[in-house]
Structure 1
Amino acid sequence: MKKGVLLVNLGTPDNPQTPAVRKYLNEFLMDERVIDINAFSRFMLIKGIIVPFRGPKSAKSYQEIWTEEGSPLMIYTVKTTELLKQRLGDEYHVEMAMRYQSPSIESALAKLRAAQVTSIQVIPLFPQYASASTGSVHQKVMEIVSKWQTIPSMSFVNSFYDDDLIIEAYAQNGAKHKPEEYDHILFSFHGLPQRQMIKADETGKHCLKVANCCDTITGANRFCYSAQCHATARLIAERLNIPKEKYTLTFQSRLGRDPWMQPYTSEVIDQLAKKGIKKLLVFCPAFVADCLETIFEVSVEYNEEFKHAGGEHVQLVESLNDSPLWIDALERMVRGA
């Protein structure tokens, strides 16, 4: 009998055309953990404003990064799954899924069920825990499995923001670009609304109420996405001997008018360029696979913004993708070493 492993990434449209992108955005943004407002307001916002207008624009962006093999995020997630299968051998049955679109979590779990695995370990492929990503994966898996007559032993990976192998993998990718030759370093993480950070503070007394509330992991913020992002950036910087004054942690991809986690990447890029910074190296350690937010948002959009403000070049540090150290880290998670 085999043990089951389910790797889950966020998702990608089936193709880069507007109808497929709108379908993806609808499923993604209608998730109550992603847009955490009342159901009626969420429906009106997503169906009436965001998807109709954002769909065509996002489709053009996806077309910029799409390859003959498909979406980069899908390509690297498939490679990661295949490499992990090879590492784990016959003792394990490994499946991959996307939280939104294909292959679905339901279809992947059905394959594990059909294989009669003795246990299922769920690994959401997000280094830092957030309700809108890891939490959503956990909830979806539990909703599906709860309907099974017999449920195997289940386990869930919550986060791996400080895993030493993963920190080393990000550091090795950064070292290839010689950080010492850049004027400044950015650690740009995917943004989330501030209200979601506040909700994660079960004490109600820490988030945005304590000075430098994200600088150290404590009991109050142990599940805080922002605090985990700060820890990841600090560990990578320490591994590469990047002094504190030479790097800034920022958040990208904000949506809507509500305040999101700050500082915003786009604003910091503009400020740095106006201060005379010419060469900028950007890590995106919230992503394990290069995708729209890294390849296009950073390498194209932010690069253009930086140059317009007086800078010369924004260099993206590639994600973990199919790095051997990344596969080492996943293998260790599965085996519990």
Structure 2
Amino acid sequence: MSKKATGKIGVLLVNLGTPDSPSTPDVRKYLREFLLDKRVIDINAVARYALINGVIAPFRAPKSAKIYKELWTERGSPLLYHGLDLQKKLQASLGDRYHVAFGMRYQSPSIKAALEELREQSVDRIIVLPLFPQYASASTGSVQDKVMEIVKDWWVIPNISFISSFCDDPGFIKSFAELGKQHMAKDDYDFVVFSYHGVPERHVLKGSDKGYCQLGACCNTYNKRNKYCYRASCYATSRLLAAELGLREDQYMVAFQSRLGKDPWLTPYTDFILKDLPAKGIKKVLAYSPAFVADCLETTIEVGEEFKEMFLEAGGEKWQLVESLNSEPMWVEAVKEMVLQH
């Protein structure tokens, strides 16, 4: 009779990444690593290198550095310290049989360093959880790609599995809904906007079940044919959050932010639709950014400040961002349950 393994189980939490500091050189370094990823900008390698190093990084870095300075705190980058807080709390909740490591896809702490930490613990298996609720090749897929690239050089490779999506995970939905309910208890809101990070339409089409994806009504249900479709995942999360919040279909909408370049990205664009809401009598909006589980530039600055300013200028009265899950107790328990079920 075979014996069950008694060694530790490794858990690798991974988020996107952040500059080491808000200085222009560090921001430029981060942008280069991020945007040179073939899964992020999926064009010819030579053209991608020329575009990033010759145009985007040099011109965008100084502007982005100013925004990062607004975001930075005494603890540094929120995306980093919220990730480290989640790691510590999850470790305490899971106990000694598990070893939880945290890494970033770009910059520090690296995925390689986090995997080495787990290897030193002689873990029997590794569960990788990219902290992106909705699967996209440019985020979750890139993490999976990087992990496999690193471990292929190990002499002994333990069992490795990925939690590729948790867009409809009950703990994730309930945790995020609870944060929204806390705001709804303090004020009456006319409408809820679920704003997701956008991706180019071609990214969705490249990964779609052939002949099924229409960038439209096909996302009205979430099923085995579109379970790895980013757009379908976003709509699935929104429907579940809306149900948990007690919203009717006419009380919320899904939109997409943070587009880059001239190619068509997923629509509608958040910055376009929010300007039209006040004219429709919608004066108080509760804004979610459910593609992120930790506060960062895209949530705190883009949704929380820039979109708020646009909405108020258009005649709105209140725009309230629902904070990300960060390391809230309910979220820690939700992550724990995902790991245990996996």
2:289 to 284, 288, 294: 284
Partner residue in 2 for 1:334? 339
1:115 to 111, 121, 133: 121
Report which stretch shifted further, 51-60 or 305-314: 305-314
Partner residue in 2 for 1:156? 162
Residue type of the alignment partner of 1:186: V
1:335, distance to aligned residue in structure 2 (A) = 1.5
- Residue correspondence of structure 1 range 149-298 to structure 2 within 5 A: 149-178=155-184, 181-203=188-210, 205-208=211-214, 211-298=216-303
Residue type of the alignment partner of 2:34: F
Runs of 4+ residues over 4 Å off in structure 1: none
Q: Distance in 2 between matches of 1:32 and 1:111?
A: 27
Q: Distance in 2 between matches of 1:61 and 1:213?
A: 37
1:276, distance to aligned residue in structure 2 (A) = 3.5
Verify the 8 A CA contact 1:186 1:282 in the aligned structure 2.
yes
1:140, distance to aligned residue in structure 2 (A) = 0.2
SS at match of 2:254: strand
SS at match of 1:99: strand
SS at match of 1:16: coil
SS at match of 1:67: coil
Verify the 8 A CA contact 1:120 1:154 in the aligned structure 2.
yes
Partner residue in 2 for 1:64? 70
Partner residue in 2 for 1:10? 16
1:131, distance to aligned residue in structure 2 (A) = 0.3
1:214, distance to aligned residue in structure 2 (A) = 1.1
SS at match of 1:197: helix
Q: Distance in 1 between matches of 2:135 and 2:105?
A: 15
Give CA-to-partner distance per residue, 1:65-88, whole Å, 9 cap, x none: 110000111111010000000011
Verify the 8 A CA contact 1:184 1:247 in the aligned structure 2.
yes
Q: Distance in 2 between matches of 1:95 and 1:45?
A: 34
Report which stretch shifted further, 175-184 or 24-33: 175-184
Verify the 8 A CA contact 1:233 1:249 in the aligned structure 2.
yes
Partner residue in 2 for 1:98? 104
Partner residue in 2 for 1:145? 151
Partner residue in 1 for 2:133? 127
Give CA-to-partner distance per residue, 1:103-149, whole Å, 9 cap, x none: 00011111111111111111100111000000000000000001111
SS at match of 1:24: helix
Q: Distance in 1 between matches of 2:68 and 2:317?
A: 25
Are 2:30 and 1:30 equivalent residues in the alignment?
no
Q: Distance in 1 between matches of 2:86 and 2:224?
A: 33
Q: Distance in 1 between matches of 2:272 and 2:63?
A: 21
